[in-house]
């Protein structure tokens, strides 16, 4: 359930599993299907969590990858691209750097317990 005041919006979604990291030596068609799935899953999760009741002026997003091994920073960023696109689709928001501020974190998880947690904070117009 989103929490917000008249000027702000915040919500947390959890996506089970782990998006692919830096192509992982997969064929482009396989990666395309995976990315499409992650984008769709993020879109559905965002819609289910509840959308803001107005237009957003700016958005801050924290992606936390829960996995057994810590990735390097550029792979961590790349792995969330499809998720970010799905969030922006759901919010009707463009991820321009002037209005969209992402950050990435990693937390240790047990084997087969991988997931991605996404926290979103927005300022309403």
pLDDT in tens, 59-116: 999 999 999 999 999 989 989 999 999 999 999 999 999 999 999 999 999 999 999 9
What is the residue extent of each domain of the chain? 8-124
Question: Is the separation of the CB atoms in 85 and 92 below 8 Å?
Answer: no
pTM of the model: 0.89
Tokens representing 4 are: 């917000």
Question: Residue 29 — very low, low, confident or very high, per pLDDT cuts 50/70/90?
Answer: confident
* Average pLDDT over every residue of 21-41: 83
pLDDT in tens, 61-74: 999 999 999 999 99
CATH for 8-124? 3.30.1330.70
């Amino acid at each position: 359930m989103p929490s917000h005041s008249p000027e702000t919006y915040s919500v947390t979604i959890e996506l089970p599993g782990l998006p692919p990291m830096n192509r992982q030596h997969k064929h482009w068609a396989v990666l395309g299907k995976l990315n499409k799935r992650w984008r769709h899953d993020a879109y559905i999760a965002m819609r289910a969590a509840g959308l803001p009741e107005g237009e957003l002026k700016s958005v801050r997003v924290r992606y936390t990858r829960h996995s057994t091994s810590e990735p390097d920073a550029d792979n961590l960023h790349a792995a969330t691209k499809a998720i970010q696109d799905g969030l922006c689709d759901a919010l009707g928001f463009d991820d321009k750097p002037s209005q969209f501020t992402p950050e990435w974190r990693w937390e240790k998880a047990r084997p087969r317990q991988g997931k991605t947690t996404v926290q979103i904070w927005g300022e309403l117009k």
